[in-house]
Amino acid sequence: MFWLGSLLATLFVVIAVGVATHDGYIRRHYRHPRLLIGALLTLSILAIPLSVGIALTAPEQQQPWVQYAIGALFLTLPAIVALGLHLRHSPRLPARQRRVLAVGAHPDDLELACGASLARFVDEGHEVMAMVMSHGDHGGIGEEREREALRGAELLGLEGVTVRDFTDTRMAEEISEIVGAVEVAIELFKPDIILTHSAHDQHQDHHAVHLATMRAARHSPTILCFESPSVTQEFRPNFFVDVSEYLESKVSAVQMHRDQSGKPYMGAKLLRGAAVFRGRQGRIPQAEGFEVMRALSSDLGEL
Ligand SMILES: [Zn+2]
Quickly list DSSP for 71-108.
HHHHHHHHHHHHTT-PBPPPP---SS--EEEEEESSTT
Whether the model clears a pTM of 0.85, i.e. scores above it, the answer is: no
Mean pLDDT within 141-159: 92
- Averaged pLDDT, 35-53: 85
Going from the Cα of 225 to the center of ligand 1, the distance in angstroms, rounded, reads 14
**Span from the CA of 299 to the centroid of ligand 1 (angstroms):** 27
**What pLDDT is recorded for position 162?**
96
Q: Ligand 1 centroid vs 173 CA: distance in angstroms?
A: 16
> Dihedral, CA atoms, 221, 122, 255, 289, nearest 10 degrees?
40
Residue range 25-49: mean pLDDT, rounded: 83
The mean-pLDDT minimum among 63-72, 153-162, 209-218 falls in 63-72
Q: What is the DSSP letter of 30?
A: B
Q: How far is the CA of 10 from the centre of ligand 1 (A)?
A: 44
Q: Specify the pLDDT at position 9.
A: 84
- Per-residue pLDDT, 279: 97
- In angstroms, what is the span from residue 228 Cα to ligand 1's centroid? 7
Neighbours of 63 (CB within 10 A): 12
**pLDDT computed for residue 89 by the predictor:** 61
Distance from the alpha carbon of residue 108 to the mean position of ligand 1, in angstroms: 7
Strand 127-132: give its sheet, edge to edge.
Answer: 160-163, 127-132, 99-104, 193-196, 223-225, 287-294, 239-242
Give the pLDDT of residue 85: 66
Mean pLDDT over each residue of the chain, to the nearest integer = 90
Q: Identify the residue with better confidence: 68 or 186.
A: 186
Distance of CA 32 to the CA centre of its chain: 15
- In which element (H, E) is residue 129 found? strand 127-132
- Cα of 38 vs centre of ligand 1, distance in Å, is 33
Query: Residue 203 pLDDT > 70, yes or no?
Result: yes
Higher pLDDT, 199 or 94: 199
Q: Do residues 166 and 174 make contact, with C-beta atoms less than 8 angstroms apart?
A: yes
CATH 2.60.40.10 fits 99-300, yes or no: no
* Rounded Cα gap, residues 58 and 54, in angstroms: 8
**Band of residue 206 on the pLDDT scale cut at 50, 70, 90:** very high
* pLDDT, position 49: 86
- Nearest 10 degrees: CA dihedral of 15, 19, 22, 28? 130
User: For residue 105, how far is its CA from the centre of ligand 1 (angstroms)?
Assistant: 5
What is the per-residue pLDDT for 167?
96
Given a cut of 70, whether residue 44 has pLDDT beyond it is: yes
How many A from CA of 258 to the centre of ligand 1?
Answer: 15
Q: Which residues contact 116 (CB under 8 A, 6 or more apart)?
A: 241, 243, 246, 247, 249, 250, 275, 288
C-alpha of residue 201 to centroid of ligand 1, in Å: 10
